[in-house]
């Protein structure tokens, strides 16, 4: 990525900035590239042609452009109308306010970002940073968790003082930060007063595993309030399924089947959210392992006119089969004849 940009902007005044410099200094692989240059739109278009990506405006207000690679990597091009020092002064944290000349040369580090990297510290560039962009409140916690760093005392004071602003950014931006948090990150949000303004709570967080998926964590923390964010239809369906789930009355095959019928393919996630325990996990896993390869009968074999009745009868046959009361096609058809309305 860097080689392509160097070739494109050879002889021009441009700098590698932000997370790209930070991650390189931390010995992390380069995934996202941030270039400050004089003509970001033209640079993005040229880079997209070289790299085979797609260029689009990232911020019309600030004139930033992004090129998205097919493999998920990104290259951002931002303008520097007032010089690189002014650009760095507008950055969020000192560890992201280090610039390196694209063509080579000494780093520009006016806020001691290198020292903060060595001290594993997240420190705000300015006292007004969280007012300028309240999304930085969430980013501060994400950097703590992702990098294993800690907020310095002044920055933590600023986060707490501006916590009420955390819900102001666009929902897409908030969600983009939340999905990158783990359980420790959500607990830190709560500790700093950032979770309540987002309608979140850590009450159910202890029920889910440390390795829980981002989706399960979102449901555990936000519950029905998750729908206030611009989540996908699939995530909305997942959340509603888990939040409607009720634990089975016992661990019988029939009760576990009914539980699975209302929660699959997310039954094990529902168990976690309900705090169901190891026995229910094992019962669901055993039931999954015992699932038959196919149905005993098809809907068109029941002798019932098309309509909801077919679905009801097929569900009844599935339940009785899971409970062990029937096991053959003839028994299934006999059950359907008895129960048909």
CB 323 within 8 A of CB 332: no
pLDDT at 340: 87
- Quick check: is 127 in a domain? yes
Token pair of 59 as six digits: 């911020």
| Residue 158 and residue 70 share a domain | no
| Residue 220 and residue 137 share a domain | yes
- Quick check: is 124 in a domain? yes
Domain boundary among 63, 91, 116: 116
Residue 76: beta bridge partners?
34, 66
pLDDT at 200: 97
**Which tens digit of pLDDT belongs to each residue from 252-311?**
999 999 999 999 999 999 999 999 899 999 999 999 999 999 999 999 999 889 999 999
| Residue 156 and residue 203 share a domain | yes
- Quick check: is 154 in a domain? yes
- Quick check: is 83 in a domain? yes
- Quick check: is 93 in a domain? yes
**Which tens digit of pLDDT belongs to each residue from 227-263?**
999 999 999 999 999 999 999 999 999 999 999 999 9
Mean pLDDT of the chain: 93
Q: What is the CATH number of the domain that holds 107?
A: 3.30.460.10
| Residue 305 and residue 282 share a domain | no
> What percent of the chain clears pLDDT 90, i.e. is strictly above it?
76
pTM over 0.95: no
| Residue 235 and residue 124 share a domain | yes
Domain region containing 87: 1-116
| Residue 104 and residue 155 share a domain | no
pLDDT at 180: 96
- Quick check: is 294 in a domain? no
| Residue 125 and residue 238 share a domain | yes
pLDDT at 334: 94
| Residue 267 and residue 231 share a domain | no
pLDDT at 140: 98
Residue 14: beta bridge partners?
37
| Residue 1 and residue 92 share a domain | yes
| Residue 73 and residue 29 share a domain | yes
| Residue 138 and residue 238 share a domain | yes
- Quick check: is 14 in a domain? yes
| Total number of domains constituting the chain | 4
In the chain, which residues have pLDDT < 50? none
pLDDT at 103: 84
| Residue 211 and residue 147 share a domain | yes
């Amino acid at each position: 990525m860097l080689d392509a940009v160097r070739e494109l902007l050879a002889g021009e005044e441009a700098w590698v900035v932000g997370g790209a410099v930070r991650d390189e200094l931390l010995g992390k692989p380069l995934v996202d590239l941030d270039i400050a240059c004089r003509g970001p739109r033209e640079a993005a278009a040229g880079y997209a042609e070289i790299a085979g990506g797609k260029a689009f405006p990232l911020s019309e207000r600030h004139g930033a452009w992004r090129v998205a690679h097919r493999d998920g990597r990104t290259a951002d091009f931002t303008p520097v109308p007032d010089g690189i020092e002014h650009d760095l002064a507008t950055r969020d944290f000192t560890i992201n306010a280090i610039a390196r000349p694209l063509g080579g040369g000494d780093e520009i580090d006016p806020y001691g970002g290198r020292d903060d990297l060595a001290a594993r510290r997240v420190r705000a560039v300015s006292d007004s940073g969280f007012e300028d962009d309240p999304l930085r409140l969430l980013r501060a916690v994400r950097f703590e968790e992702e990098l294993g760093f800690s907020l310095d005392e002044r920055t933590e004071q600023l986060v707490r003082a501006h916590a009420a602003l955390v819900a102001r950014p666009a929902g897409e931006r908030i969600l983009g930060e939340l999905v990158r948090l783990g359980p420790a990150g959500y607990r830190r949000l709560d500790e700093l007063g950032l979770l309540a303004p987002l309608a979140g709570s850590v009450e159910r967080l202890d029920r889910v595993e440390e390795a829980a998926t981002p989706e399960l964590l979102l449901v555990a923390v936000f519950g029905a309030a998750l729908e206030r964010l611009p989540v996908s239809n699939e995530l909305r369906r997942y959340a509603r399924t888990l939040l409607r789930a009720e634990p089975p009355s016992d661990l019988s095959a029939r009760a576990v089947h009914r539980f699975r019928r209302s929660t699959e393919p997310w039954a094990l996630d529902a168990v976690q959210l309900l705090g169901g325990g190891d026995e229910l996990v094992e019962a669901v896993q055993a039931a999954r392992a015992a699932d038959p390869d196919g149905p005993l009968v098809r809907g068109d074999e029941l002798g019932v006119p098309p309509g909801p009745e077919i679905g009801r009868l097929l569900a009844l046959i599935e339940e009785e089969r899971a409970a062990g009361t029937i096991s053959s096609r003839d028994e299934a058809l006999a059950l359907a004849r008895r129960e048909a309305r």
